[in-house]
Amino acid sequence: MPNTIEEEHAAHVAAALFGLRGDVRRLDGEVDLNFLVTSADERVVLKLHRPGTDLAELELQDQVLLRLACAGLRVATPVPVPTAAGELTTLVPWTDGSRPARALTWIEGTPWPVGTADPTLLHDLGARIGELDRALAGYHHPAEGREALPWRITAAAQVAPYAEEVDEELRDLVRAVFREHATSIAPALADLPEQVVHHDLNEHNIVLGADGSVAGFIDFGDVARVPRIAELAVAAAYAVQGVDHPEQALVDLAFGYHQANPLAAAELAVLLDLVRLRLATSIAMSAHQFARSPGNAYLLISQEGVREALVRLSATDPVLLHCRLRDALGFEANPLAREVRQHLESGRVRPVPLVAPVDRLAGAFDRPYGDAVPGTDEVRVDRGLAVIPGAEVRAPLDGEVTSVTDDGVVLRHRADTGPELGIALSGLEVDGLCAGDRVRAGDLLGRASTTEGVGYPAAQVRVQLCALPGVGGEELVSAVPEAELDLWRSVFPDPNLLLGDPQPVRRRPVRTDIDLLRRRRTNFSTALGLSYADPAHVVRGEGAHLVDRDGRRWLDLVNNVAHVGHAHPRVVAAAHAQAQVLNTNTRYLHASVVEYARRLVELFPDPLHVCFLVNSGSEANDLALRLARAHTGQRDVLVLDHAYHGNLTSQIDLSPYKFNRAGGLGQPHGTWVCELPDVYRGRLHELPVTEQVAGYAVSVAEQLDGIRAAGRAPAAFFVESLQSCGGQIVLPEGYLASTFALAGEAGAVTVADEIQVGLGRVGSHLWGFELGGVVPDIVTLGKPLGNGHPLAAVVTTPEIARSFANGMEWFNTFGGNPVSAEVGLAVLDVLRDERLQANASDRGRQLKEGLARASAGHPLIGDVRGEGLFLGIELSHEGRAPATAHAGLLKEAIKARGAMVSTDGPDENVIKIKPPMVLSEEDCAWFVDVFEDALGEVEKRVG
């Protein structure tokens, strides 16, 4: 097609001013002239703005785009292309006057698919918008106010008069939206966070990439400083169009945004109103334009989706939708519920019994709150009280009668200062009350039905509380979908708040895996991850097996915490028996904790016979650090590269595995990192082992020299007896002996971290440090001690313990409580009685040999190593380069076959095996086959 004169003129501008040569085509545009310039190697949009366009506004757009271009966003945004003279905007003469010209990079893709309800895509869009806004937070520009922009969400008052030009069908609705906004929402906007936002993320301005995900945002012509929530509201106004359930689309979009850029509760409270305002603005503006150019039918056609969305969103209950939004984002659904519960629980009011205790009956007719409705997926959000027919029913609190029905009454209780509470009662014959009557607590309301329960020994009075004025006010809302129980129990709280009956455990919502994942993303920090691409939903453990909610069994080869087997009956019984009698702290004389201390320290060589009981491995290492510092009077600590010693601040500082990896702040002052003696992949791996040991010991000597050169002395040398997170590393023979000697000579306290490997796991010895032929000054213990119960310990010498007793008392509230002590004793008993250390030795050998055999001829398996039931399989490419992706695939392929392993190591290329110690011979034989099969699949898939 030949170019138009306009296109030829534009081509001339592009070439002369911007140095852009290529095919030029006119694009759509509301007020500006836009041309796509396509050359051999790039595509650029040439924009010729309306004559008289405020140049400051164009500069605002360019500055925003330049900022976004440097923000590292996952989506693309247009980048301004300067003229040959280095200007971002330049004036060009045009037929209608002088037009400001700009050039922007073109973003390839397709527009947002209107009508999509795909939750993943909506989350994705929400998250990308959230990231965009984060990148613009804190940005300022003199033109950011955009006072003349009628589309500005804060310009509603300017647009409201156009509602009168809207056709009859929607005029009242549009008027109402502007009116409600002006009276109840607009004043609240001033208190919300404000910033510069894109402000027009309609379907044309969202670009999807070839893989169907959100890939770009374009057209920043409406960029303005407004309440931040307007960004999401505008995008939602378009994203909900043509969708069957616009409310759900809004929730999905907001969920995605909140993940990337957390919203405040006050912003959520205005979201629906602002979505409706944007839709009403669009309708009013187009009516106004149509009135001025009636020939332009396009103005009306493009309005269909907008009109329909406004009608549908206006038909939804705004209060409930607000609750749904809150619930989805992790806030409690009903913002008033907490206050209502506190009103009743704190004793501020003292409810009178609804029915006298003598008139209450037990049995099946007494129905709990949350009971499932048979044959449906619904649960009841009221409580059914079984009572003697004809029993008197009294007002539990002062209140006003809001309605009376055939078989019940609804009261509204409102204390002077307290929240409002609806109390709906049914199943009674009401005694002469009318709406508007005031009752006092204890007044007779009626009598339990004498007819309804004919044939039954009991009548049932149903009670429902409502903590959200305006919902369920007139009568009982008896059942709700179980999947929405979080929402509804916040609206209709448990009536036991009023009744105070002892009740069995409340029903909890039965959650789908998707719901669990969502809740984890809102009510937990996403810093806490999940294992496996398809996370396992396990509900039971038995010995070395885990069982998921569908009854599928897995051999658990990861969990060294369930040391003597998941749910070992002797351990469970010990916890149960002690919990039934007493659980308190260690400041009393109690036989269990002393017995445990004795039994624990007799497992150690002399002179390690003083113990401290704590709750976690991290706490144990933190205490070990304090002991070492108290004993030496020094602060500096040596650790091995890739070590992990725990999640406390003090331990992150000792863990290169954390401080040197994603999110870490680097090596802290006072921490000295010694080279890891990794005989498979370490720097010296080509040397004979004895030379490697000598070489790696030099690294310890060098770090000690460094401390000395700084004018200080070391407090401690922390070593995992076998390194776990660092890649299942067995320290070579002679390493611990030589390095502990060096550290000891320099005055350091040696600390063996046995949190992963202790208590018989290595098979040949009870403790990992014994493999190295050393006796550390301090040993820290954790994971296996309590078989899943939080029990950890520090064992040290009397001399070091003496240095620590310096006047400052040491106390740990939970550490060593009687229940923990009994659990710890049961673990030691089972370990002994079931010969589990010997089992670790035998099964470890069987597994290691079997896995080595299965790996022969598979170059991907670089190394099979370990001691007892602490094994590692390292996956490598040529030159021992880490095969990280392959290790991940192998882990998943093993899981698909019914066994769980994990990956670890600095490069995540080591398969970790550290199962409960009760693994059987058959389990091991079966797993070797599984491993071989899974390895075959991985090799076939990726070569």
Least Å distance, CB 584 to ligand PMP, is 23
Phi-psi region of 466 (alpha: psi -120 to 50; beta: other; left: phi over 0): beta
Q: Is 656 in the site for ligand PMP (CB under 6 A)?
A: no
Least Å distance, CB 751 to ligand PMP, is 11
Q: Is 618 in the site for ligand PMP (CB under 6 A)?
A: yes
Which residue, 224 or 614, has its beta carbon nearer to ligand PMP? 614
Distance CA 752, CA 748 (A): 13
Least Å distance, CB 645 to ligand PMP, is 5
Which residue, 63 or 615, has its beta carbon nearer to ligand PMP? 615
Q: Is 623 in the site for ligand PMP (CB under 6 A)?
A: no
Beta bridge partners of 872: 865, 912
Secondary element (H or E) of residue 275: helix 265-292
**Binding residue for ligand PMP (CB under 6 A) from 100, 782, 788, 816?**
782
Distance CA 62, CA 102 (A): 9
Q: Is 905 in the site for ligand PMP (CB under 6 A)?
A: no
Kindly give the pairing relationship between strand 444-448 and strand 428-430: antiparallel
**CA distances from residue 28 to 24, 34, 865 in whole angstroms, order as listed:** 13, 7, 66
**Binding residue for ligand PMP (CB under 6 A) from 200, 753, 777, 867?**
753
User: Using CA of residue 640, residue 645, residue 649, residue 652, what is the dihedral sign?
Assistant: positive
Least Å distance, CB 625 to ligand PMP, is 12
* Separate counts of helices (H) and strands (E) for the chain: 28, 39
Least Å distance, CB 477 to ligand PMP, is 45
Least Å distance, CB 653 to ligand PMP, is 13
Q: Are 429 and 389 in contact (CB under 8 A)?
A: no
**Binding residue for ligand PMP (CB under 6 A) from 282, 586, 632, 756?**
756
The gap between the terminal CA atoms of the chain, to the nearest Å, is: 50
Judged by CB under 6 A, the stretch of 81-89, 169-177, 466-474, 753-761 that binds ligand PMP is: 753-761
User: Using CA of residue 752, residue 757, residue 758, residue 763, what is the dihedral sign?
Assistant: negative
Judged by CB under 6 A, the stretch of 567-575, 752-760, 822-830, 914-922 that binds ligand PMP is: 752-760
**Binding residue for ligand PMP (CB under 6 A) from 453, 509, 565, 646?**
646
Judged by CB under 6 A, the stretch of 546-554, 572-580, 614-622, 872-880 that binds ligand PMP is: 614-622
Least Å distance, CB 759 to ligand PMP, is 13
What 3-state DSSP class applies to 291?
Answer: helix
299 Cβ neighbours under 8 A, 6+ residues apart: 286, 289, 290, 293
Q: Is 617 in the site for ligand PMP (CB under 6 A)?
A: yes
**Binding residue for ligand PMP (CB under 6 A) from 307, 645, 658, 789?**
645
Which residue, 585 or 647, has its beta carbon nearer to ligand PMP? 647
Q: Are 827 and 787 in contact (CB under 8 A)?
A: yes
Distance CA 663, CA 527 (A): 10
The rounded Cα 571 to chain-centroid distance in angstroms is 32
Least Å distance, CB 726 to ligand PMP, is 9
Least Å distance, CB 617 to ligand PMP, is 2
Distance CA 103, CA 83 (A): 8
Secondary element (H or E) of residue 338: helix 337-345
Distance CA 737, CA 754 (A): 17
Least Å distance, CB 660 to ligand PMP, is 16
**Binding residue for ligand PMP (CB under 6 A) from 83, 303, 621, 803?**
621
CA angle (234, 235, 241) in 5-degree steps: 100
Least Å distance, CB 824 to ligand PMP, is 15
Which residue, 621 or 837, has its beta carbon nearer to ligand PMP? 621
Least Å distance, CB 715 to ligand PMP, is 18
x/- mask, ligand PMP, residues 865-894, rule CB under 6 A, reads ------------------------------
DSSP 813-863: SSTT-HHHHHHHHHHHHHHHHTTHHHHHHHHHHHHHHHHHHHHTT-TTEEE
Least Å distance, CB 469 to ligand PMP, is 46
Q: Is 820 in the site for ligand PMP (CB under 6 A)?
A: no
Q: Is 281 in the site for ligand PMP (CB under 6 A)?
A: no
Which residue, 60 or 779, has its beta carbon nearer to ligand PMP? 779
Residue nearest ligand PMP by beta-carbon distance: 617
CA neighbor of 620 nearest in space, from 591, 653, 647, 593: 647
Distance CA 707, CA 398 (A): 74
**Binding residue for ligand PMP (CB under 6 A) from 647, 660, 846, 884?**
647
Q: How many CA atoms lie within 13 A of 540 on its CB side?
A: 8
751, two tokens: 């600390």
116 phi, psi to nearest 5 deg:
-75, 135
Distance CA 820, CA 767 (A): 21
Q: Is 282 in the site for ligand PMP (CB under 6 A)?
A: no
Distance CA 382, CA 359 (A): 20
Which residue, 369 or 644, has its beta carbon nearer to ligand PMP? 644
Residues 688-747 that bind ligand PMP (CB under 6 A): 720, 724-725
Residues belonging to the chain = 943
Least Å distance, CB 75 to ligand PMP, is 37
Which residue, 707 or 722, has its beta carbon nearer to ligand PMP? 722
Judged by CB under 6 A, the stretch of 132-140, 215-223, 615-623, 888-896 that binds ligand PMP is: 615-623
Least Å distance, CB 535 to ligand PMP, is 19
Residues 477-536 that bind ligand PMP (CB under 6 A): none
Q: How many CA atoms lie within 13 A of 530 on its CB side?
A: 15
Which residue, 237 or 785, has its beta carbon nearer to ligand PMP? 785
Which residue, 216 or 677, has its beta carbon nearer to ligand PMP? 677
Q: Is 902 in the site for ligand PMP (CB under 6 A)?
A: no
Q: Is 653 in the site for ligand PMP (CB under 6 A)?
A: no
DSSP 595-648: HHHHHHHTTS-TT--EEEEESSHHHHHHHHHHHHHHHHS--EEEEETT----SS
Q: Is 774 in the site for ligand PMP (CB under 6 A)?
A: no
Which residue, 316 or 647, has its beta carbon nearer to ligand PMP? 647
Size of the site for ligand PMP (CB under 6 A): 15
812, two tokens: 């740990």
CA neighbor of 717 nearest in space, from 691, 747, 694, 690: 747
Which residue, 632 or 756, has its beta carbon nearer to ligand PMP? 756
Least Å distance, CB 741 to ligand PMP, is 23
Least Å distance, CB 693 to ligand PMP, is 22
Judged by CB under 6 A, the stretch of 32-40, 114-122, 530-538, 642-650 that binds ligand PMP is: 642-650
- Identity (one letter) of the amino acid at 647? N
Which long-range CB contacts under 8 A does 524-532 form with residues at least 24 apart? 526/259, 531/558, 531/900, 531/902, 532/891, 532/892, 532/895, 532/900
Distance CA 185, CA 198 (A): 22
Secondary element (H or E) of residue 672: strand 671-674
Q: Interface residues with ligand PMP (CB under 6 A)? A: 616-618, 621, 644-647, 720, 724-725, 753, 755-756, 782
